[in-house]
Amino acid sequence: MNNRVSSIVIFILVTAVGGMIYFTYTTPETSVVTEQSASSNQGELDYQSSIKPIIETRCVVCHACYDAPCQLKLGSFEGLSRGASEERVYDGERLLEANLTRLFEDAHSTEAWREKGFFPVLNEKQGTASENLESSLFAQMLTLKKQNPLPQNKLLTEEFDLDLNRQHQCETIDNFESYKQDYALWGMPYGLPAISNKEHDILIKWIEKGAVGTDEVAIDADVKNEIEKWEVFFNQNSLKAQLMSRYLFEHLFLVNLHFSQNKPTQYFRLVRSSTPPGESIQGIFTRRPFDDPNVERVYYRIQQVKETIVHKSHMPMGLSDDRMARWKKLFIEADYQVTSLPSFEPKEASNPFVTFAQIPVQSRYKYMLDESQNTIMQFIKGPVCRGQMALNVINDHFWVLFAEPELDFLENDEGFMQRARQKIALPAEKQSNALPTSWLTYASMEREYLKAKSEFIEQNIANKIPITLDLLWDGDGNNTNAALTVFRHKDAASVVKGLVGNSPQTAWVLTYPLFERIHYLLVAGYDVFGNIGHQLNSRMYMDFLRMEGEFNFLSFLPEATREQVRQKWYRGSVSEVEKYVYEANEATVKTAIEFDTDDHLSELFQAMEGYLGSALSQVHNLENGSSSKEVLSSFHQINAMQGANVSFLPESAIIRVVNEENGKAHFYTMLRHSAHTNISHLFGEDDRRLPGEDTVTVASGFMTSHPNTFMQLSTREAPAFANAINNLSSAKDYENLMDDYGVRRTHQDFWQFADSMHNDFRQKYPRDFGYLDFNRLENR
């Protein structure tokens, strides 16, 4: 422990008399072992109370979601029982779609998972305590780490491969002796400090006793009543209600639903079932949510989430009486008729403008706007979110705003949508074994759609509706979903409410058809198990949607400025796709906004902030953190930085700031925004980097699921911290910065920091809390 960190620790211990213990540094090691866990060490060990808390904080942080190494998902007992597989879910080169391996969905017994190629990590035979340990890969990996802890170096040696796309060593217990000889330092947790002796002993004792567990947790009585009420709502018999429920399911199937508006502890998913409410759920789990269920009547049921909640896939939404009333107003009480239910044939089912044509556009659009962050979050956090092929289609920092739903203009118009939907097709209609499609195919359809849009504007809107900020949805004055900020961190991303950070790199304005297409392209229609053709087609199509959102934003600027800004956004060698589509999307309507300065873009950003007013979320404002003037001034100074110095920072960092006066700590997120000449090409991203234009945002709270590093400092050190960042000019300078303020993955207090961070997250932001992912922690 360096002297700077030690001084903070000593201070906190001294002030602990006042009850403010924020770090448990009372011993050289930290532990999440509770009194109940410790006492049960001598008797029976309960999985839920004694074992799962340890696995959540020490194992799930790397082994969760589709990118868990060897598909070993440790957020549930079923995942631990399922075991591991050599097959990758994320594979941008496979020629054929992969078999589905979704936990809790695609197999429901250990035997079924073995047939799918998964191998055990626990002993599956009756055995003695020693046999249970010897036959458990899980136990052997923990013991290997205990026998061979990390070397006492500040950086890991080259023998640790930390590349996210590295070749995983998915060894079975039969090959473990060979693995141990070749990779003695690769025990678990991989590339991180060993777990505490207490934690290790409890896990080993549990495994010795046969590793018994269950994911069954009692549902609260009041929650059961809510589930019954909502299942009645989702399963009404009228054609109108059935169509509504299908629409809602295709927008909610990834969402974690809850019934507590303050501190939810139990989450649920909306699933399709062949059985009605009152009977046990018989789930229908197809490749896509709009695939044919092959039953006469689909029922929509609410099923408990049994896995640990991890932030990278956590998309919460509360179900309340107010929400039910809102959905009734939009979908049941609205004046329209449903004469027949749409089919599940792929060409129709993959196109929401055809499938849900009978539901008024305004009803669909207002539904999406009400929880726009959640809808965008599904694109960011859903299966598509892993990998550059999906995410290098967006910039590192941009704002998202929405067209006003009440105004009578084209994309809220039923007549326009009736005409335009015939010109819209989405890659999902070609299923998951698609051939890579020529960009010209989708580009031609996009041009046709944009042509229809332009003609409609000329005939019905030009010179009738002025282009002012009134065209933007203002959240009805109080809905903080009115404006969002998206941050991309190379092959991961996050979306938060509010217009966060200084001037963004770009901005989008979404209309209903654009918003809906994004959802059906990258959420409902995207198959993470699909082949390379499906993945490439989806990425290519998103190019068009991004450009359309950017063009909508540019239309608020004077014509000459539009071209200047667009040329800056698309410098250098721009792909043929952008050129082709841009020719069909030149705005013909003049803005009615009057500008007072020559910097029209910055003025527009400021005007949008002022226009949205009380609908702008303030959650991530710096002022919500430390009240220290030194901290606020220093972090504002960092936020104003731009240039090569910023390029040495990690993509994402979590910073813990401790107040010397009272011992309280607050967490911030620092994100670096990499600049590029353009993002119009699938490959060669590093060749288009502009490090001299990199920017950075420090904001209050947690704005990333995938931190690259942890840092901590005292309020008194904030000015020196900002000055050190301002003076970064080499990799060595950054190494020195980490020497002074970093909590590297090798740090002896790593798990103390992680526990403090997660505890703070859970306490201050209970609805949004989920364990962060440590797979991208750097080593520098």
Question: How high is the pLDDT of residue 733?
Answer: 98
pTM: 0.91
Cα–Cα dist 327/341, whole Å? 19
CA 565: distance to chain centroid? Answer: 29
Residue 210 pLDDT: 95
Question: Tokens at residue 253, please?
Answer: 């199937």
Query: How many residues are there in the chain?
Result: 780
Edge-to-edge strand ranges of the sheet holding 316-318? 299-304, 268-273, 256-258, 316-318
Q: Reduced to 3 states, what is the DSSP secondary structure of residue 537?
A: helix
pLDDT bin (cut points 50, 70, 90) of residue 462 is low
- SS3 (DSSP) at 293: coil
Residue 714 has pLDDT above 60, yes or no: yes
CA–CA distance, 215 with 307 (Å, rounded to integer): 8
Q: pLDDT per residue over 281-293, tens digit each?
A: 999 999 999 999 9
Bridge partners (DSSP) listed for residue 507: 399
7-11, 180-184, 323-327, 674-678: which has the minimum mean pLDDT? 7-11
CA distance 287 to 549: 29
Structure tokens at 160: 């640790």
- The helix/strand/coil state of 364 is helix
Q: Do the strands 506-510 and 397-402 form a parallel or antiparallel pair, or are they unpaired? A: parallel
Per-residue pLDDT at 271 exceeds 70: yes
- Whether the pLDDT of residue 655 is over 50: the answer is yes
Strand order in the sheet with 652-658: 695-700, 665-673, 652-658, 709-714
Structure tokens at 525: 């229609």
1 within 8 A of 749, measured Cβ to Cβ: yes
Report residue 151 as tokens: 């070397």
* Distances, alpha carbon 685 to alpha carbons 30, 227, 395, 721, in Å: 41, 47, 11, 30
Ranges 5-9, 51-55, 69-73: which has the least confidence? 5-9
Q: Which residue's structure tokens are 């069909």?
A: 584
User: What sign results for the dihedral spanned by CA atoms 462, 468, 472, 473?
Assistant: negative
Torsion, CA 10, CA 14, CA 20, CA 25, rounded to 10 = 40
Of 738, 764, 746, give the one whose Cα is nearest residue 653. 738
Per residue in 137-167, pLDDT (tens digit) is 999 999 999 999 998 889 999 889 898 778 8
In this predicted structure, the answer to whether residue 457 has a pLDDT above a threshold of 80 is no
Beta bridge partners of 304: 268
Q: Provide the pLDDT for residue 416.
A: 65
- Mean pLDDT of all residues in 234-255: 98
Burial (CB count <10 Å: 0-12, 13-18, 19+), residue 477: exposed
Q: Which residue has the tokens 């997250």?
A: 761
Q: Report d(CA 555, CA 551) in Å as an integer.
A: 6
pLDDT in tens, 14-64: 333 233 233 333 333 456 665 445 444 445 799 999 999 999 999 999 999
Residues 442 and 540: beta-carbon distance below 8 Å: yes
Average the pLDDT over 707-726 and give the result.
97
Tens of pLDDT, residue by residue over 500-558, are: 999 899 999 999 999 999 999 889 988 888 887 777 777 777 888 888 899 999 999 99
Compute the average pLDDT of residues 678-707: 88
Report the b/e string of 259-270 with b at 16+ CB within 10 A: bbeeebebbbbb
Binned at pLDDT 50, 70 and 90, residue 350 comes out as very high
DSSP 271: E
Q: What local confidence, expressed as pLDDT, does residue 580 receive?
A: 65
Four-point Cα dihedral 616, 617, 622, 626, nearest 10 = 140
Is omega for the bond preceding 189 within 30 degrees of 0, making it cis? yes
pLDDT at 3: 41
Amino acid 90: pLDDT = 80
Rounded to 5 degrees, φ, ψ at 710 are -120, 145
Q: What is the pLDDT of residues 77-103, one digit of tens each?
A: 999 999 999 998 887 677 788 899 999
Question: CA-to-CA distance for 490 and 483, rounded, in angstroms?
Answer: 23
Q: What percent of the chain has pLDDT over 70?
A: 84
- Residue 438: the pLDDT is 54
Q: At 686, list the tokens.
A: 């590093």
Q: Are 244 and 367 in contact (CB under 8 A)?
A: no
Residue 477: pLDDT over 60: yes
Rounded Cα–Cα distance for residues 264 and 318 (Å)? 9
* Number of Cβ within a 10 Å radius of residue 121: 25
pLDDT at 426: 66
Radius of gyration of the chain (CA): 27
**Tokens 């979601």 found at:** 65
Report the pLDDT value the prediction gives residue 682, as an integer from 0 to 100.
65
Helix (H) or strand (E) holding 761, with range, is helix 750-764
Mean pLDDT of the chain: 87
The closest alpha carbon to 125, from 76, 133, 179, 47, belongs to 133
